[in-house]
Amino acid sequence: MTQPSPYKSTGGLLRIARAFGYSLQGLGAAWRHEAAFRQETVLAAILIPLGLWLGDSAVERLLLAGAPVLVLAVELLNSAIETLADAIGTDYHPLLGRAKDIGSAAVLLTLLLAAAAWAAVLAPRWWPS
């Protein structure tokens, strides 16, 4: 029988509390080390309240306020990929470059999705058909 990993928690409320703490550490690390995350966080701090104010329905508010949150989540994943790639080595390797490029593409697609969500909700108000 395989021994359980000493790095894996067993569960319970303590696990939830620790996981929350690790999440806060991750947000702090992203804020300190990732300029793109800081820029997107500032943008989200503007867009989330604006989206809650501009949305006419719960669905519109969810789309407008949720889109920037999704961008932040994908940026965090991209930053994690880049951090791991840099930890492996700073010398160029095509697979590490590919991993970073794919992560960056994920952020781009999420930014485009966020822009499309905002346009889909707000454009009909300014340019009625």
Q: Which residue from 74, 76, 78, 72 is spatially nearest to 103, judged by alpha carbons?
A: 78
To the query of whether residue 75 is one of the catalytic residues in this protein, the response is: yes
Task: Say what the pLDDT of residue 1 is.
Answer: 66
What CATH architecture does domain 35-124 belong to?
Answer: Orthogonal Bundle (1.10)
Task: Say what the pLDDT of residue 8 is.
Answer: 72
Which is catalytic among the residues 30, 47, 75, 79? 75
- Averaged in consecutive runs of 10 residues, what is the pLDDT profile of the chain (129 residues)? 72 89 97 98 98 98 98 98 93 94 98 98 88
Would you say 39 is a known binding-site residue?
A: yes
Task: Say what the pLDDT of residue 4 is.
Answer: 74
Would you say 82 is a known binding-site residue?
A: yes
Task: Say what the pLDDT of residue 106 is.
Answer: 98
Would you say 3 is a known binding-site residue?
A: no
Distance between CA atoms of residues 102 and 106, nearest Å: 6
Would you say 98 is a known binding-site residue?
A: no
Would you say 61 is a known binding-site residue?
A: yes
